[in-house]
Each structure stands twice: as structure tokens, then as C-alpha cells.
């Protein structure tokens, strides 16, 4: 999962970078590996800063002061294709046609054929293993086809319509055309979120400022109102003078990823009309029923409910209230350690669970504890915390998960490429409990999870639930695809090496990238689209 953001001030001489940076820090939970901002100055020149690292590390006052202009786009990255190499930090840039910068949340599933098309037909060079760079070049190729000296909104809609015909998978994107404006679009199934908001421009001006962001929390925090989701298959183009939007894709089932509500999004965001907070409360309520049923069946009782900070807190509190059990913060979180699930490599994830959470003996000793988490994916967190709970004297440790067992790969922008890494893959509930060391594991049922989200927006009739069911809404994901993906991106093969896009970059490509990556600015003078501190931090 990544975070994307676009901002256009009515005043072209405004300083968009500082507010983009603020917005990216509100999306940090969506990606911790790399981040970047590109702005466009009043004369149509781009200014870029991107690097591996968190927002607070990459953007200091100095870096921000070099990002000139009243519009820009930003990205926080959680790599799910290619590698975590700094050359794949976003936004990406191509100079032709018109000068485009681009940022993407999601994952393509037909990269192999798109790469072939790029090479044989479009003759465009893809310099990294990132599917987002590929997507940008498909966009550029479609724009190029208009053959215009100056383009207009019609041309852009046509180009994005063409892109949507060609690209399969999940993509919520923001783009910026030099001197023109900002654009957002969302794949035909609307798997990944992106929305827009506006506010009155500052100063005596009568115009408006516009924002695109992955989550509504960015709009709330920055004083933007009228939040609206970009619709599946829709493109929105914003210039200083107009907002134009159009559905450009062929109709397809709307299927937002339900895992956004389970784990990814911030609770204070509203995605596709559903408050993430309310949906998590409902998940807790529904899970309480299942917990009661399973405890009764096993003649077990529980003394205390303990959440796994942070994400499960909301659901755990509701569950405890529903079961009239005490709720205690038995695990204290080190606030300086980020999310562990989105860290690269199993070793790092395991180490960081211990760094992040500490069990307070007084809440565990001699008690039957019910630990509530939002999800159990690889089992990294649960294995560690169950051991911690036992080490401080818990009598019995029962684990309840707000999500059903995750048994299948994710191909749409969550780094779960390999089924064998998933603790629930080919295991029943009893053997999952045994593997993570729990006395009992209780999972939410899929119908209950869906109902927890859907009750807040019944017009959503379908969700992407592929990690629970193995059914992929886009089609095009078969056993051969999944096996190849597993080979390319199995854990620890993707942590640092700059290859691995589906379709495969070879060793020659890899060393070429490394050579380029270390050689400094790719183009332009140092104060323009070149790289300010891209190489400094990685």
C-alpha cells in the first residue's frame, strides 16, 4: 500500500511543498520505505526530492525550500513490485510528451505483456523494475498518440481511457503535467482509494485550492472540505481554471479492497463513504459474537481483553464492551517504531515486534487473556506477543482476529506475494493456533467482516476479498501467474535487490540500474528535475 497526494493552489506562486509534506506525514502509515515530492514552478519547471526513508527524514527545511511552485504531487512508498531500491522511489518523471510526473498506489498484474508492448511497439525505455514507472510510460504513450502540440482535457481523458484498456490490476494514481494541472484516476474496479477536496484559496483571491489524497484524513487536517471519492474508472483533471471529471473505463464491478478497512487506512479516514473507525467498531461487535460462541463450545472463560496496538484497539474495545469484559492495554507500544507488517524482510519484522511492544506483567499474570488483533498474516506479531504474554505469566492465551484466515496471495498492492509465508495457508484453525503458540484462535467469518463494512454503505455490493477467498476481481490471475509471482517476490528476495517486476528484469538490467542509480542526476540542472537528496539517504 502506498499513499498518494496531489495539491494545486490557485496561486501558482504559492508554496505547495510544505503542505504536501504535511499531508504525506498523515499518510505515512501507508508506506514507510521511501517518499518523494515533485512540484511545478510558475514557469512550468519541475522540482524534485525523493529518497528512501520516512517523511520526517527525507524532507528537512532545506529540501523543502528547493521545491518551488504552487502545485505538486507526493508519494509514500511500500514496495510491492520491483524492489525497495531508491531508484524506485516515487513520483516518477518522463519528459515526453509535455513533462509528466506520476505517483501510484496499487499493483499491475499484466506487467509482462506491458513491458513487451513498451519494448516492441511503444519503444519507450523502462529504467527500473517498478510497475509504476511502467504505468507512467503507458500513460505517456497514450498522450503521445494524440500528436498534439498542446493538449486539452479531452485528450487526457482519451489517453487515460486507453491506459485503462491496457493496464490490469489495481491503480489509484495522481499525475501532474508541466504548467497544466494535476490529474487523478482510479482503476475500473476501484480497488485502491483516492479522493478529492477543495477549499477557498488563501488571500484576497476568489479561486479555490484543490487536493487529491489516498485518504480523507489529509483533507480534514489541512482544512479542505467537500471530500469526494474518485469513482472507479474515473479520471479527474484540475487546472487553475477548471475541474473536469469523467468515467473513462468500460463498466466493471466496483470492488474496493476490504483490507483497507481491516488494517491499512487510518481510523479517522472515510473511504468510499465508510468510516474506517465505525467499520472497525462493527468488526469488534461481530467478532464478540463469534468469540462467545467458540468460548462456550470450548468451555473456556476469559478474564481480560487486550488489544495489539495500534490497529486493533478500536475493535478490541467494542468487543470487550459487548462481552462485558475488562479491556486493558497490556501491550505498551514504543511510539518511535513504525508499523511492522509493512517493513521489508521477515527478520526485520520479527525483530521490530519485540522493539515495538512490551507486555505488562500485571495485566497478564495468572489470567486467561483474550488478545485481539485486526489480522494474522504471517503470524509474526502473534507468535512474538503470545510468547511475551506467556513469559509474563498468562495462564491461557486466546487470540481473536477481526479478519478471517488469510490464505491467498495479494496481487493488488499489499506485500503478500507468497502463499507459503501465510500462517493460515494450508492450515486449519487448530494448527494455526499450534503454530503461533496460542491455546485457541478465533477468526471473524467473512460474511461478518463484509457486513461490518457494508452496513455503512450498502451501495458497495462487492469487495476485493482475494486474500481470504483466492478470487481475483480483475481476472488474469491464475496458478501460473501466482507461482511465478511467488518465485520472483518470495520473502527476502525483494528486500533490497532492484529486480523482480513480474516479467522479470535480468541481471544486466539490474547492474545497469545500479550504475545509473549511483551516478547522480539523471537529467536537468541540479535545481530542477534532477535529484536533490535522492542518493544521500539510501
Ligand X SMILES: O=P(O)(O)OC[C@H]1O[C@H](OP(=O)(O)OP(=O)(O)O)[C@H](O)[C@@H]1O
Q: Which residues are catalytic?
A: 2
Q: Would you say 41 or 82 has its CB closer to ligand GLN?
A: 82
Q: What is the DSSP string of 158-203?
A: HHHHHHHHH--EEEEEEEEETTTEEEEEE-TT--S--EEEEEEPSS
Q: Which of 32, 130, 311, 352 binds Mg ion (CB under 5 A)?
A: 311
| Number of residue whose CB is nearest ligand GLN | 2
* Separation between Cα atoms, residue 188 and residue 164, nearest integer Å: 7
* Separation between Cα atoms, residue 44 and residue 323, nearest integer Å: 60
Contacted by 82, from ligand GLN, Mg ion, ligand X, none: CB < 5 to 8 Å by type? ligand GLN
Cell of 79: 514496495
Q: Would you say 386 or 416 has its CB closer to ligand GLN?
A: 416
* Separation between Cα atoms, residue 477 and residue 109, nearest integer Å: 7
Q: Would you say 275 or 311 has its CB closer to Mg ion?
A: 311
CB of 310 to Mg ion, least distance (A): 6
**What stretches of 372-428 show up as alpha helix (H) in DSSP?**
380-391
CB contact at 8 A, 210 and 8 = yes
* Separation between Cα atoms, residue 417 and residue 412, nearest integer Å: 10
Q: Is 106 in the site for ligand X (CB under 6 A)?
A: no
> Side by side, which strands form the sheet with 304-307?
304-307, 368-373, 396-401, 440-443
Tell which positions 112-151 bind ligand X, by CB under 6 A: none
Could you tell me how many residues of this chain bind Mg ion (CB under 5 A)? 1
Residues at the contact surface with ligand GLN, assessed by CB under 6 A = 1-2, 77-82, 88, 104-107, 130-132, 413
Contacted by 77, from Mg ion, ligand X, ligand GLN, none: CB < 5 to 8 Å by type? ligand GLN
Residue 374 annotated as part of some ligand binding site = yes
Q: Which of 129, 375, 418, 494 binds ligand X (CB under 6 A)?
A: 375
Residue linked to cell 488483533? 373
Q: Which stretch binds ligand X (CB under 6 A): 128-136, 204-212, 374-382, 467-475?
A: 374-382
114, 125, 508 from 120: Cα distances, Å? 10, 11, 19
Q: Is 352 in the site for Mg ion (CB under 5 A)?
A: no
Could you tell me how many residues of this chain bind ligand X (CB under 6 A)? 19
Contacted by 376, from ligand X, ligand GLN, Mg ion, none: CB < 5 to 8 Å by type? ligand X
CB of 285 to ligand GLN, least distance (A): 30
173, 235, 278, 294 from 462: Cα distances, Å? 22, 21, 19, 28
Residue 373 annotated as part of some ligand binding site = yes
Q: Which of 232, 379, 500, 503 binds ligand X (CB under 6 A)?
A: 379
Q: Is 491 in the site for ligand X (CB under 6 A)?
A: no
Q: Which of 25, 39, 80, 311 binds ligand X (CB under 6 A)?
A: 311
User: In DSSP terms, which residues pair with 7 in a beta bridge?
Assistant: 72, 211
CB contact at 8 A, 139 and 155 = no
> Side by side, which strands form the sheet with 195-200?
46-52, 34-40, 71-77, 3-8, 208-213, 195-200, 225-229
Q: Is 263 in the site for ligand X (CB under 6 A)?
A: yes
Q: Is 401 in the site for ligand X (CB under 6 A)?
A: no
Q: Is 264 in the site for ligand X (CB under 6 A)?
A: no
- The length of the chain, given as a count of residues: 538
Q: Which stretch binds Mg ion (CB under 5 A): 114-122, 249-257, 309-317, 524-532?
A: 309-317
CB contact at 8 A, 512 and 128 = no
| Main-chain phi, psi angles of 150, to 5 degrees | -125, 130
Cα 410 vs. chain centroid, distance in angstroms? 12
Q: Which stretch binds Mg ion (CB under 5 A): 178-186, 310-318, 423-431, 437-445?
A: 310-318
Q: Which stretch binds ligand X (CB under 6 A): 187-195, 242-250, 303-311, 488-496?
A: 303-311
Residue 311 annotated as part of some ligand binding site = yes
Contacted by 377, from Mg ion, ligand GLN, ligand X, none: CB < 5 to 8 Å by type? ligand X
Q: Is 467 in the site for ligand X (CB under 6 A)?
A: no
Q: For strand 71-77 and strand 3-8, is the pairing parallel, antiparallel, or unpaired?
A: antiparallel
CB of 384 to ligand X, least distance (A): 8
Which of 225, 221, 194 shows the shortest CA–CA distance to 210? 225
The residues binding Mg ion (CB under 5 A) are 311
The residues binding ligand X (CB under 6 A) are 263, 308-311, 339-342, 373-382
Annotated binding-site positions for Mg(2+):
311, 373-374
Amino acid at each position: 500500500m502506498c499513499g498518494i497526494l496531489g495539491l494545486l493552489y490557485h496561486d501558482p506562486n504559492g508554496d505547495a511543498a510544505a503542505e504536501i509534506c504535511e499531508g504525506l506525514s498523515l499518510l505515512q502509515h501507508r508506506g514507510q520505505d521511501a517518499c518523494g515530492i515533485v512540484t511545478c514552478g510558475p514557469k512550468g519547471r519541475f522540482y524534485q526530492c525523493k529518497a528512501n526513508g520516512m517523511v520526517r527524514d527525507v524532507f528537512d527545511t532545506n529540501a523543502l525550500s528547493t521545491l518551488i511552485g504552487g502545485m505538486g504531487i507526493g508519494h509514500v512508498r511500500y514496495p510491492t513490485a520491483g524492489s525497495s531500491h531508491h531508484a524506485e522511489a516515487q513520483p516518477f518523471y518522463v519528459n515526453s510528451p509535455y513533462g509528466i510526473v506520476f505517483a501510484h498506489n496499487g499493483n499491475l498484474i499484466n506487467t509482462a505483456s506491458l513491458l513487451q508492448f513498451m519494448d516492441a511497439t511503444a519503444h519507450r525505455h523502462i529504467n527500473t523494475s517498478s510497475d509504476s514507472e511502467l504505468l507512467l510510460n503507458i500513460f505517456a504513450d497514450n498522450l503521445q498518440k494524440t500528436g498534439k502540440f498542446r493538449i486539452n482535457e479531452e485528450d487526457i481523458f482519451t489517453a487515460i481511457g486507453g491506459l485503462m484498456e491496457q493496464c490490469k490490476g489495481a491503480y489509484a494514481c495522481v499525475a501532474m503535467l508541466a504548467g497544466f494541472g494535476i490529474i487523478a484516476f482510479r482503476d475500473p474496479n476501484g480497488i485502491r482509494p483516492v479522493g478529492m477536496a477543495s477549499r477557498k484559496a488563501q488571500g484576497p483571491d476568489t479561486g479555490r485550492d484543490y487536493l487529491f489524497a489516498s485518504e480523507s484524513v489529509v483533507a480534514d487536517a489541512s482544512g479542505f472540505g467537500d471530500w469526494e471519492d474518485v469513482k472507479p474508472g474515473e479520471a479527474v483533471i484540475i487546472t487553475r481554471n477548471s475541474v473536469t471529471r469523467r468515467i473513462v473505463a468500460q463498466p466493471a464491478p466496483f470492488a474496493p479492497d476490504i483490507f483497507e478497512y481491516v488494517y491499512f487506512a487510518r481510523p479517522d479516514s472515510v473511504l468510499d463513504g465508510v468510516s474506517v473507525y465505525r467499520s472497525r467498531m462493527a468488526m469488534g461487535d461481530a467478532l464478540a459474537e463469534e468469540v462467545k460462541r467458540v468460548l462456550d463450545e470450548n468451555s473456556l472463560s476469559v478474564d481480560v481483553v487486550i488489544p495489539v496496538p495500534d490497529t486493533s484497539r478500536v475493535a478490541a474495545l467494542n468487543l470487550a464492551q459487548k462481552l462485558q469484559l475488562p479491556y486493558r492495554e497490556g501491550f505498551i507500544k514504543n511510539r518511535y517504531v513504525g508499523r511492522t507488517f509493512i517493513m521489508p524482510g521477515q527478520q526485520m519484522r520479527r525483530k521490530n515486534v519485540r522493539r515495538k511492544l512490551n507486555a505488562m506483567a500485571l495485566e497478564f499474570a495468572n489470567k486467561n487473556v483474550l488478545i485481539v488483533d485486526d489480522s494474522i498474516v504471517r503470524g509474526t506479531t502473534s507468535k512474538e506477543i503470545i510468547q511475551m504474554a506467556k513469559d509474563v505469566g498468562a495462564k491461557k492465551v486466546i487470540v481473536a482476529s477481526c479478519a478471517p484466515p488469510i490464505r491467498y496471495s495479494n496481487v493488488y498492492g499489499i506485500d503478500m506475494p507468497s502463499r507459503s509465508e501465510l500462517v493460515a495457508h494450508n492450515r486449519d484453525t487448530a494448527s494455526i493456533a499450534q503454530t503461533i503458540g496460542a491455546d485457541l484462535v478465533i477468526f471473524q467469518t467473512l460474511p461478518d467482516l463484509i457486513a461490518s463494512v457494508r452496513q455503512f454503505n450498502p451501495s458497495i455490493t462487492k469487495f476485493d476479498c482475494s486474500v481470504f477467498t483466492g478470487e481475483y476481481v480483475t481476472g488474469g490471475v491464475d496458478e501460473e501467474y501466482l507461482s511465478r509471482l511467488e518465485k520472483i517476490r518470495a520473502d527476502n528476495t525483494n528486500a533490497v535487490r532492484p529486480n523482480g517486476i513480474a516479467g522479470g528484469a535480468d541481471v544486466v538490467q539490474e547492474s545497469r540500474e545500479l550504475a545509473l542509480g549511483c551516478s547522480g542526476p539523471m537529467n536537468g540542472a541540479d535545481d530542477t528535475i534532477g535529484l536533490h537528496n535522492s542518493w544521500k539517504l539510501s
